[in-house]
Amino acid sequence: MTAGNGKAGSGRAGSGKREAGREFRPDDGRVQIFDTTLRDGEQAPGCTMMLEEKLAVAHQLARLKVDVIEAGFPAASEGDWAAVHQIACDVGGAHGPEICGLARANERDIDRCWTAVEPAAKHKLGMTRSQVVAAVASSVSHARTLGAQVEFSAEDAARSDPTFLHEVLTAALQCGATTLNVPDTVGYSTPDEYGALVAGVRANVPGIERVTVSAHCHDDLGLAVANSLAAARAGARQVECTINGIGERAGNAALEEFVMALHTRGQFFGLHTSIETRELARTSRLVSQCTGINVPPNKAIVGANAFAHEAGIHQDGVLKNRLTYEIMSAETVGWDGVGLVLGKHSGRHALRVKTEALGYALTDDELSLVFVRFKELADRKKLVDEGDIHALMIREETGSMREMS
Ligand code: MN
């Protein structure tokens, strides 16, 4: 909602029963993870997924233990309704995540959303884009009559007049909204500013302690995760994010980055999530396959090079003790493999580890011979892959190369 530009409102509906006291949950520092890969993420150009792909991603998000899955926008198309309904049926059981859908602030959207998510075990309905307090009140009230959990979302809150924002959020809360979302829809905010926005909402909306404040950030300035972390420090207890940070324009806050920041810097933030971090790499690969959007190699947490070390001095240090150059272990996020990239900067130690990982047992003399050939090859080729290493072994003429039994 931007004061003055006349945008309509919209919302989210989900199905399933939520424990009655959720909105009164005492603050134990747990930040709920609201995944919108299947809604905001799928809205990104070229990211459209088929029903089977959406189901596969939803099942994997459940294994990852996200708290809420926003499965789609049921009023947008028959296909979207069907996908949300199927996910609500298959994934939204009593022990699964909450399933929700997006709806604009009108009864048709809300009803479509409700019928789609009703089979799941928990209910949620969020509203965004309402400029008119009366429309907010009637929409939230209508959603509540359906028995839904209601998330009200004030679109473009970060650029709205704070007094009007507080007024609209107060109306939504009084009509029964259980989560209040203050999105930075256009990715304009900065961490200090966005943290202050959340703090302002918590200070100026009566009854705010009974509901969950949610953050929703976009990455137009590369600040989505930083802004989400600032919001959590200011008291937001739900963060909306996507796998691999996919989403409209520059994308949403990357789930894996936000989660691992809290995980790795737990003492600093004093906050945590319920995410099963060992499922992060697998989830990232699945979403990449289903959307056709590649993950850049230098992407934090899930990029191919995120745990790779090529420089010889780094490789030697990592092999002696991974914590030398790693602030978290690759295993924590579900990476398998040695994670060493061999190139012209690599040393003997890395070559020995790599060859052993590939099944070769070399004497020191043999390793020296192979190392010379390896350096010759690395001068001509940017990266030496596993196939190259096997080839170096075959070219060796001493006949003493052997595979370990
Ligand atoms: Mn968004």
Question: Rounded to the nearest whole angstrom, what is the distance from the C-alpha of residue 319 to the centroid of ligand 1?
Answer: 42
111 alpha carbon to ligand 1 midpoint, in Å?
Answer: 22
Decide if 134 is inside a domain: yes
In the block, tokens 């890969």 appear at: 37
Q: Are residues 90 and 221 in the same domain?
A: yes
Ligand 1 centre distance from Cα of residue 141 (Å): 24
One domain for residues 209 and 326: no
Residues 6 or more apart whose Cβ sits within 8 Å of residue 45: none
273 and 190 both lie in a single domain: yes
Q: How far is the CA of 151 from the centre of ligand 1 (A)?
A: 14
Ligand 1 mean position to 1 CA, how many Å? 12
Instruction: List, as one string, the DSSP characters of 129-153.
Output: ----HHHHHHHHHHHHHTT--EEEE
> What is the model's pLDDT at position 397?
47
Residues 325 and 262 in one domain: no
Q: What is the pLDDT of residue 316?
A: 72
Residue 211 CB: number of other CB atoms within 10 A? 23
The whole-number pLDDT of residue 59 equals: 95
Q: What is the Cα–Cα distance from 148 to 319, expressed in whole angstroms?
A: 53
Distance between Cα 273 and ligand 1 center (Å): 21
Same domain as 316, residue 285: no
187 Cα: distance to centroid of ligand 1 (angstroms): 9
Question: Which residues are near ligand 1, the ion (C-beta closer than 5 Å)?
Answer: 40
pTM: 0.78
CA of 325 to the centre of ligand 1 (A): 35
- Residue 305: inside a domain: no
Supply the pLDDT for residue 2. 27
Domain that holds residue 371: 311-398
Assess whether 250 and 369 both reside in one domain. Answer: no
Q: Which regions of the chain are under pLDDT 70?
A: 1-24, 121-132, 147, 309-314, 318, 322-326, 336-341, 395-405
- Number of compact structural domains in the chain: 2
Asked if 241 and 342 sit in the same domain, the reply is no
Co-location of 354 and 261 in the same domain: no
Q: How far is CA 397 from CA 164, 252, 305, 316, in A?
A: 79, 54, 34, 28
